[in-house]
Amino acid sequence: MELIFKLDPATDPRVLAFLQEHLDDMHRISPPESVHALDASQLRQPDIRFWTGWTQQQAGPALAASCALKQLDAGHVELKTMRVGAAHRGSAAAQQVLAHALAQARAGGAKRISLETGTEAFFAPARRFYQRNGFVPCAPFGNYHPDPNSCFMTLAL
């Protein structure tokens, strides 16, 4: 399954529902002060670019994934809102989303990409995925502060 990526304004009802599922999961798993997921209005800020990944189905395009890049400074971006829908987990979708995000970061001149994910067991597959892709632990960056529920990772591009 190949994903087709679209720079997205986060206004389509399917996208809004997908984002709400993400937010609901984050609030179900992490304490409120440790939830750093962005809602649709935050994804529309000028320092953020948001993409959705779609599959072509017989009935038409189906939303499979999302990712965003937040510009921290001229050479540093943050990976935000990377999510693969439940129906596509375990496929190559996550690798495609990350490859897309890394290509977009490089094209935008970034020299470093960082992310925050959770420390709870729910996030263990994500942490392993990022480690397999070269991300290493790092100190909090941007506006983050040390948090026992947050794992910070970075990758030099």
pLDDT above 90 for 55: yes
- The whole-number average pLDDT for the span 104-118 is 98
State pTM to two decimals.
0.95
The pLDDT of residue 89 is: 82
- The whole-number average pLDDT for the span 49-72 is 94
pLDDT above 90 for 90: no
Query: DSSP letters of the chain?
Result: ---EEEE--S-SHHHHHHHHHHHHHHHHHS-GGG-----HHHHTSTTEEEEEEEEEETTEEEEEEEEEEEEEETTEEEEEEEEE-GGGTTTTHHHHHHHHHHHHHHHTT-SEEEEEEE-SGGGHHHHHHHHHTT-EE----TT----TTEEEEEEE-
Mean pLDDT of the chain: 95
pLDDT category at 157 given cuts 50, 70, 90 is very high
The pLDDT of residue 156 is: 98
